[in-house]
Structure 1
Amino acid sequence: MMAGRVRQPLTAKTVASLSKPGMYGDGNNLYLKVSGENGKSWIFRAMVQGRRRDYGLGSAGLVTLREARDIALDMRRIARSGGDPRPPESSDELTFSQAAKRAFETQKVKWSSDKHEAAWWATLEQHVIPVLGDQPLNKINTKDVYELLEPIYQAKPPTAKRVRQRMKVVFAWAKGAGYYHKENPVSSLTSAFPSPRNSSNHHNALPWQDLPDFMLKLHQREGLSARLTEFTILTCLRSGEARSIEWAFLQGDTLTIPAHLMKSRNRHRVPLSRQCRKVLDLIPRDDPRLVFPGSISRKTGERSILSVNVYKALYKRMGVDGFTTHGFRSTFKDWCMDTGVGDWEVSEVALAHVPGNSVERAYARTDLFEKRQELMQKWADYAMQHVWPKPPRVKLAKHRRARL
């Protein structure tokens, strides 16, 4: 069938008016197939395992243009990852397991951690799929979800919260893709299963007054984990961000971290202090890619990043406790606020936070790099004062005026 000529992308008005047989492209591998006056259907066309395949997405009278685009976008992502993008023939045939797999494929592209990806799927596989996996999605209601979650909540409230959140994502995907036409059955259960009280969600932090002595004790230790910890503290990075650093990210006195490795999903530039560069100079280049390489992966044959557990093991060897690695970010923030060294906004950007409301962020066009350079150097001067003391300033004698 010859492809019809129509200006892209399609519009709802165009879809309704087209009558000439043909394939009308909308972009992202989505086509409207017109075979007669009342014969309009959506087609997803893609290369799968080296062959061109056409997948029917349903009648244009039942599936809207917006719904077809959402389905096609999900299928395109699955096809690109090597999976089978074939959709169920109708929404009535879609089971929770099928919907969960499709939702998982669309969600995992935004995760930077393989561990989180595995945990996300394992939660559904362990707690939901054995009970509701084979059930048609359209027949699952709020009562079914409540009966599933209630015993989990009684035994493990944090686990129940994660199960509820991930089930909500599955139904949200199905609703957006046109496979679930009722209200999300998980949304109304927030009050039914409130989050457990937690006396404090803050990570324990080392008081900033104790930091110079700690850094001296830390610097006296050999090994990659000690250098990693120094680097983490001096850059104010999160532990996962610090452990993922590659040599290619380092250019002179600037570290540039790609967006996919940052929690904020924004590229982050870090000004490196003199002390931080000295720490990097002490690290052997045992791996051409990673600054802090771990063991060799059996899957890829390449070195993985160091485990997050290296920090805790290091503190145990040092005989120190009462704080966490993430807590050093609070140590930095407290130091800034108590000493007045750094402005609130500058210290927030140094922590890779995005200060301000949505309007203020929309107009923010700078990452305050020069101000952060000054702040991070002062932070390093303070933290490493017992390791690398600043050279004393030489006071030049003032020239006396010649007496008349």
Structure 2
Amino acid sequence: MGKLSATAVKAAKRPGRLGDGDGLFLIVQPGGGKSWMCRVQKNGHRRDFGLGSASKVSLATARERAREIRSWVELGLDPIFERRKAEGIPTFRQAAARVIAAHSKTWRNEKHGKQWHQTLEAYVFPQIGDLQVHEITGPMIRNLLSDIWLAKPETARRVRQRIGTVLDWAYASGYRENEAPMRAITKGLPRQPRKDGHFAAMAYSKVPSFIMKLTARESFSRLALRFAILTAARSGEIRGAVWEEFDLDAKIWTIPAARMKAEREHVIPLSLPTLVILERCKELRIGSRSLVFPGARGDAPMSDMTLTKLLREMKESVTVHGFRSAFRDWVSEETLYPGEIAEAALAHRVRDKTEAAYRRGSLLEKRRKLMDEWGDYCQNVDKNYPMSDS
């Protein structure tokens, strides 16, 4: 028989802890709130488990829950996990939905969420989507990854990472007794073919003639690609550019931190060729639309494939990002500007603390001279490069 009674529980007012026996306690808070707590000790380890509010859980129910917890501990089971099982463990599909909802608050755009949904729907849900998260084993994960591990290595790595994230959440939430053995799973798969990790780039000597080819016709995609080359900016930074970011009198483009890969504001000096492009975009602007390089729908940015499609139509195998490499190579081989100026122009993160301190300023005026010279270089045509347009 316990030490407490229903009447004593109701009458308890003084803040503190009242013991019922066998590790069951009534906790009275300074504000008057009351709750149940079960304390269990085994092998020198002590754990406390909340059993709910005393206003909703009766003394008899609290005693029953405490007995259940003590039994689980004696049997070597995790009470939190067992309680989750009793409440209903989610399927992988349900767990993934919760993880996506939680992570979406930190994603900078909707693209990440769409990628999560697409990869899980295509490669994961058909095999383990309807299994409860505690039933999913290492071999199951390895089997579904093995179907795409060599055929689609980059996709497979992303799928592996996303499965691991969902199962980490399940473990941390008490729905799995053990973490998923993602490292062991990777060890059990064949070695993927190595890639050099570089984006296909055009030789900088070919860039002036390529820009001339771009000017043979006019479209927002061609204007955007020319602007990307001349500013050495990333595709997403170009496609998302809005007029409010530009100060044409000061000849600068300020990209806010929220749109930068490094999550740090970046200022780009505008050369004469880039100002010419912006003036043309102003002439083509419809109403008060904010995008400098609007997509087909006008009020929405062009897709990330638009510029890639343009390159393919022009029979070029390079990538948009590769033009940043062409700019970097040109700085190294054709100018006397130090590397930190080029890195600042590319908005690269600096890992070395000493160099980062040296580059704490924006180096704006030095970069302005650099971008002017790059603009001048890009106006010169390499006559050895084929000029026929496609």
- CA shift in 2, pair 1:205/1:294, >3 Å: same
Write the letter of the residue equivalent to 1:216: M
Deviations 1:256-275 (A, max 9, x none): 22233222233222222222
1:114-193 alignment, distance < 5 Å: 114-153=110-149, 156-193=152-189
Give the alignment's TM-score, normalised by structure 2.
Answer: 0.70
Give the alignment's TM-score, normalised by structure 1.
Answer: 0.68
Q: Secondary structure at the match of 2:267?
A: strand
Write the letter of the residue equivalent to 2:197: N
Aligned partner (choices 375, 378, 383) of residue 373 of structure 2? 378
- 1: CA distance between counterparts of 2:220 and 2:229? 14
- CA shift in 2, pair 1:183/1:89, >3 Å: closer
The yes-or-no answer on 1:321 pairing with 2:316 is: yes
For structure 2, list consecutive stretches of 5 or more residues without a partner in the other structure: 1-24, 39-48, 54-65, 71-83, 382-390
- Residues 158 and 196 of structure 1 are in contact (CA less than 8 Å); yes or no, is this contact kept in structure 2? no
1:36 Cα shift?
4.7
1:227 Cα shift?
1.1
Deviations 1:127-153 (A, max 9, x none): 222322232222322222223322343
1:204-219 alignment, distance < 5 Å: 204-219=200-215
1:106-117 alignment, distance < 5 Å: 106-117=102-113
- CA shift in 2, pair 1:380/1:156, >3 Å: closer
Structure with greater contact order relative to length (CA < 8 Å, sep ≥ 6)? 2
1:231 Cα shift?
0.6
- CA shift in 2, pair 1:359/1:143, >3 Å: farther
Write the letter of the residue equivalent to 1:19: I
- 2: CA distance between counterparts of 1:143 and 1:153? 14
Q: Secondary structure at the match of 2:300?
A: strand
Deviations 1:112-136 (A, max 9, x none): 4434421211211222223222322
1:196 Cα shift?
2.4
- CA shift in 2, pair 1:205/1:23, >3 Å: farther
- Residues 92 and 138 of structure 1 are in contact (CA less than 8 Å); yes or no, is this contact kept in structure 2? no
- Residues 311 and 318 of structure 2 are in contact (CA less than 8 Å); yes or no, is this contact kept in structure 1? no
Q: Secondary structure at the match of 2:149?
A: helix
2:217 maps to which residue? 221
Aligned partner (choices 90, 105, 108) of residue 94 of structure 1? 90
- 2: CA distance between counterparts of 1:366 and 1:202? 29
Write the letter of the residue equivalent to 2:340: E
- 2: CA distance between counterparts of 1:185 and 1:213? 53
Across the two proteins, how many residue pairs are aligned to each other?
A: 318
2:74 maps to which residue? none
The yes-or-no answer on 1:356 pairing with 2:351 is: yes
- 2: CA distance between counterparts of 1:198 and 1:304? 37
Q: Secondary structure at the match of 2:296?
A: strand
1:181 Cα shift?
4.3
Write the letter of the residue equivalent to 1:380: G
Write the letter of the residue equivalent to 1:350: A
Q: Secondary structure at the match of 1:294?
A: coil
1:263 maps to which residue? 261
Write the letter of the residue equivalent to 1:276: T
2:28 maps to which residue? 20
- Residues 100 and 170 of structure 1 are in contact (CA less than 8 Å); yes or no, is this contact kept in structure 2? yes
- Residues 35 and 52 of structure 2 are in contact (CA less than 8 Å); yes or no, is this contact kept in structure 1? no
Write the letter of the residue equivalent to 1:20: V
Aligned partner (choices 266, 274, 277) of residue 276 of structure 1? 274
- CA shift in 2, pair 1:347/1:195, >3 Å: farther
- Residues 255 and 267 of structure 2 are in contact (CA less than 8 Å); yes or no, is this contact kept in structure 1? yes
- Residues 215 and 222 of structure 2 are in contact (CA less than 8 Å); yes or no, is this contact kept in structure 1? yes
Give aligned-pair identity as a percent. Answer: 34
Aligned partner (choices 235, 256, 260) of residue 239 of structure 1? 235
Write the letter of the residue equivalent to 1:272: L
2:18 maps to which residue? none
- Residues 244 and 290 of structure 2 are in contact (CA less than 8 Å); yes or no, is this contact kept in structure 1? yes
Aligned partner (choices 302, 320, 342) of residue 347 of structure 1? 342
- 2: CA distance between counterparts of 1:358 and 1:178? 40
- 1: CA distance between counterparts of 2:171 and 2:327? 44
- 2: CA distance between counterparts of 1:342 and 1:116? 37
Q: Secondary structure at the match of 2:226?
A: helix
1:180 Cα shift?
3.7
- CA shift in 2, pair 1:213/1:91, >3 Å: farther
- Residues 341 and 375 of structure 1 are in contact (CA less than 8 Å); yes or no, is this contact kept in structure 2? no
Q: Secondary structure at the match of 1:270?
A: strand
Q: Secondary structure at the match of 2:263?
A: coil
- 1: CA distance between counterparts of 2:237 and 2:191? 28
- Residues 91 and 138 of structure 1 are in contact (CA less than 8 Å); yes or no, is this contact kept in structure 2? no
Q: What value does the CA root-mean-square deviation take over the aligned residues?
A: 3.5
Write the letter of the residue equivalent to 1:129: F
Larger Rg: 2
